[in-house]
Chains A and B, each alone.
Chain A
Amino acid sequence: MGSYLIRRLLRTVLVMLGISLVVFVFVRSIPGDPAIAMLGERATPEAAAALREQLGLNKPWFFNPANPLDAQYPKYMSALLQGDLGTGIKSNIPVRDDLKTRFPATAELSIAALLFALVIGMPAGILAALRRNSVWDNLATTISLIGVSMPVFWLGLLLSYFFGVKLGWLPPSGPLGTEFTIRPITGFNVLDALLRGQMDAAWDAARHLVLPAIALGTIPLAIIARITRSSMLDVLGQDYVRTARAKGLSGRSVVLKHTLRNALLPVVTVIGLQAGALLGGAVLTETIFSWPGIGSWVYDAISQRDYPIIQGGVIFAALVVSVANLIVDLSYAALDPRIQYS
């Protein structure tokens, strides 16, 4: 187990290095550079060239024959290895500082979305499997199909308009009402408000979470429901389940003790994969719901060609996905004793 963990960690480091190289080349290969984006309609070729020089973007990418260390990638990597992700070109804010405030917002939203997806998706999947071909099954299958096919931005706007404007039940967007201020501890609004004893702010922050979490969680919900259903059906057909039933165990016990635990394995895999999908979905959800997370931040940076922010955001997101996958792999062993790592 120990050596497996070390090998996995080493592989993660290699993957991260590879990603840093790929994203470095990719962002610079997209046409249109930060100087032009910063100058906008005002950009004349001369002004853009001057700004490019001032920003150091005229330097070679990998190797400068005149001065080997004075190239963009070596400089970036040497700073990165010291934990310095660079500074946003337009804002002059260190990328690390932005990540520190942005990541908790994305994490809070993703956790809420995943909870929403699990709490509804798993029972729906189980119910559909147990009552196969019933009305419930058809309903769950149809709804999950709609959920998968619904564009996130459209669903987001729809939710916001219906529940935020028409019914007025929930705030249409943003992370917190303007009447509240929460001094950050963890960066999670709800948690911080509770820790500071601001009950009304915590309630308000929780209410703000609902709509974006539903928008972000709908696709994972649909996927989890489908996987749970098919996985449950698979396991229900296994010999040991039939044996358990034959032994005269109650339906409840068969479902909970024998089926569910085994049926959960693929679901856990999907949850791990969804960590990446959640970060991707967060781009649209955060933009629509004015959510101050990583998604909206990187989205803005891409349109501005703000290289350090795009690089930092992508590398960080890759790290999160790697860690999530590692946790999934490790949790396999916990769920299924047959799986052993050595």
Chain B
Amino acid sequence: MKKLLLTALLSTLSAASAATLVFGGNGEPVSLESGNITDGISILVQRQIYDTLVDFKPGSTDLAPGLATSWKANANNTAWTFTLRKGVRFHDGTPMNADAIVFNLGRWWDKSHPYGFRDQGRTFEIMGELLGGYKGDATAVIKNIVKVNDTTVRIDLNKPSSVLPNVLAAGYFGIASPAAIKKEGAKYGTPASKPVGTGPFIFQSWRTGDRVTLLPNKLYWGDKAKVDQLVIRNIKDASQRLNELKAGTIDFANDLTPDSLKSVQGDKNLVAVKRPSFNVGFVSMNNRNQYLKNEKVRQAIAMAINKKAIVDAFWNGLGVSNASFVPPVMNWANSPKVPADYKFDPAAAKKMLADAGYPNGFSIDLWYMPVSRPYFPTPKPIAEAIAADLSAIGVKVNLKTEDWAKYLEDRNKEPGFDMYMIGWTGDYGDPDNFYGAYYGANASDDINWNPANVETLLQQGRAAATQDAKAKVYAQLHEITYNAAYRIPMVHSNPLAAARSYVKGWVPSPLGSEPFNTITVTGKK
């Protein structure tokens, strides 16, 4: 009996000291196979399990060593050599080496890779999107992936690229154990499999629709996790995430709505956390529209929208407005010749519209998205505010919306939308990630404006060898796109996160997710 009591006591003690860190995720991971999926929560879980070849410094978009300790391009940026960290092992005990890197990159890039499982529905579309295509494609950036020796990998390119390490640092490209992929086959990454990386946490279990449980990697090469267990719960509803935070059933969470800031600040057990902004919400204007093809009209519209007032009203201090397409963390890419923000001057805008030949204004469609996005948390009232500002200069705005999947499709179908709201959250720390996504040859055809000089500058930006050279190129792009006024940046928002007050050491990354190995929960009850 005594022994039984003692055992019971000990088990209670160990239960009490077992620190479980619980994250409220905004949904269910789609897959834990790296390279094949881009949704936020899948990447967030993957970042705990996998390391990337190159990493980002905590809280920033500057590069830092990851599984590669160093990387270097040749003189004209057409070949990159990565030197790998020695002595790192995957969670299954197999070594992380050049073979493993070549295997991972190969299955994303080579459509005939024996372990790419493309016949079973794998697409790895993000590799093609960010690096121009796959092995053998005329547009592909990567020409070849070569193992130089056990700790050195070289990537040969078809065209110069200075952003390759940045792209490979994106959370999509976690390096997985080749042995595990071979063993699990095409079910790798599904809840029925065991994803294996080198990261700070080891996969334990995935209960679909409910949670993923991870355990600390005691042999991690970097900062070892400071909790005994990490649970990532699926809580799709934002107000429910706030409820759970308040109830203390989760420790921290992302993607709260801006209007919950007051509620978080009013709760002494909670701390509001502003994630650094790495997005842009903007209004696009279509060159096919008879009014909008006139530059003066576009500039008048830009001048008539009271951006600052709108951001103050709808983002609750969780956003800034400026005249740049790239978020403030990449201010170095902006031109000093462009003003800090668009001038708000309805009278001047009205006059400009009259000069353009429309003293009585005209009527136009403005489309707003039907869903809340990090850059536009409440699209409809924001659209109404824009419409109200434009009506002041005589532009009558018809507000329109439709289902999100159809919205994304229709904006690219001729004739597209007149004006529409859209936005973008970056995935790697380079201006190309923003300008390249919405201007130039690889962008959507929603504004019917793709001048040769913009495309040339984009190419130069990708090839630029130093940050100074890059800054010069993007300053020019900034000037051209600002003056053309086809896309009016409205906001760079700070997605709102929150934590219980005992959660310490969380450094939110602008890129949306970060490894949780730095977090402690001392004092959690």
- Interface positions of A (Cβ within 8 A of B): 30-33, 36-45, 47-48, 50-51, 54-55, 87, 89-93, 97-98, 101-102, 105, 157, 160-161, 164-165, 168, 171-179, 181, 287-293, 296-297, 300, 303-305
Q: Given the interface contacts A44-B442, A171-B249, A292-B207, does A92 sit within 8 Å of B237 by beta carbon? A: no
Q: How far is the CB of A197 from the nearest CB of chain B, in Å?
A: 15
Whether B403 contacts A31 by the Cβ 8 Å rule is yes
List chain B residues, Cβ under 8 A from A171: 247, 249
List 17 A–B pairs whose Cβ atoms lie within 8 Å, in order of A's numbering: A30-B405, A39-B125, A42-B38, A51-B123, A55-B123, A91-B30, A92-B31, A92-B189, A101-B207, A164-B243, A165-B247, A172-B243, A175-B210, A290-B210, A290-B240, A292-B207, A293-B209
A301 to B405, CA, bound (A): 12
List chain B residues, Cβ under 8 A from A33: 405, 409
Looking at A32, A37, A98, the one whose CB has the most chain B CB atoms below 10 A away is A32
A202 to B510, CA, bound (A): 41
Q: Given the interface contacts A40-B408, A47-B125, does A300 sit within 8 Å of B28 by beta carbon? A: yes
Interface status of B122 (Cβ within 8 A of chain A): yes
Q: Given the interface contacts A92-B189, A290-B237, does A296 sit within 8 Å of B243 by beta carbon? A: no
Whether B404 contacts A105 by the Cβ 8 Å rule is no
Q: How far is the CB of B116 from the nearest CB of chain A, in Å?
A: 12
Interface status of B169 (Cβ within 8 A of chain A): no
Whether B244 contacts A173 by the Cβ 8 Å rule is yes
Interface residues of B in 221-259 (CB under 8 A from A): 231, 233-237, 239-240, 243-244, 246-247, 249
Q: Given the interface contacts A55-B121, A161-B243, does A37 sit within 8 Å of B405 by beta carbon? A: yes
Nearest A residue (CB) for B125: A51
A102 to B210, CA, bound (A): 10
Looking at A30, A173, A303, the one whose CB has the most chain B CB atoms below 10 A away is A173
List chain A residues, Cβ under 8 A from B191: 93, 97, 101
- Interface positions of B (Cβ within 8 A of A): 15, 20, 22, 27-28, 30-31, 33, 36-38, 118, 120-123, 125, 128-129, 186-187, 189-192, 205, 207-211, 213, 231, 233-237, 239-240, 243-244, 246-247, 249, 402-410, 412-413, 422-424, 437, 442-445
Q: How far is the CB of B437 from the nearest CB of chain A, in Å?
A: 7
Whether A178 contacts B22 by the Cβ 8 Å rule is yes
Whether A160 contacts B243 by the Cβ 8 Å rule is yes
Q: How far is the CB of A99 from the nearest CB of chain B, in Å?
A: 10
Nearest A residue (CB) for B213: A181
Taking A32-B405, A172-B249 as known contacts, 16 extra A-B pairs with beta carbons closer than 8 A to each other, sorted by chain A number, are A32-B407, A36-B409, A37-B408, A41-B424, A42-B38, A45-B445, A93-B190, A101-B209, A165-B247, A172-B244, A173-B235, A174-B210, A290-B233, A290-B234, A292-B234, A300-B27
A101 to B28, CA, bound (A): 14
A289 to B22, CA, bound (A): 17
A93 to B29, CA, bound (A): 12
What 8 pairs across the A-B complex have the smallest Cβ distances? A292-B209, A32-B405, A31-B406, A32-B406, A292-B210, A172-B243, A178-B231, A37-B405
Q: Given the interface contacts A55-B123, A91-B31, does A43 sit within 8 Å of B247 by beta carbon? A: no
Looking at B27, B408, B422, the one whose CB has the most chain A CB atoms below 10 A away is B408
A305 to B409, CA, bound (A): 13
Whether A290 contacts B236 by the Cβ 8 Å rule is yes
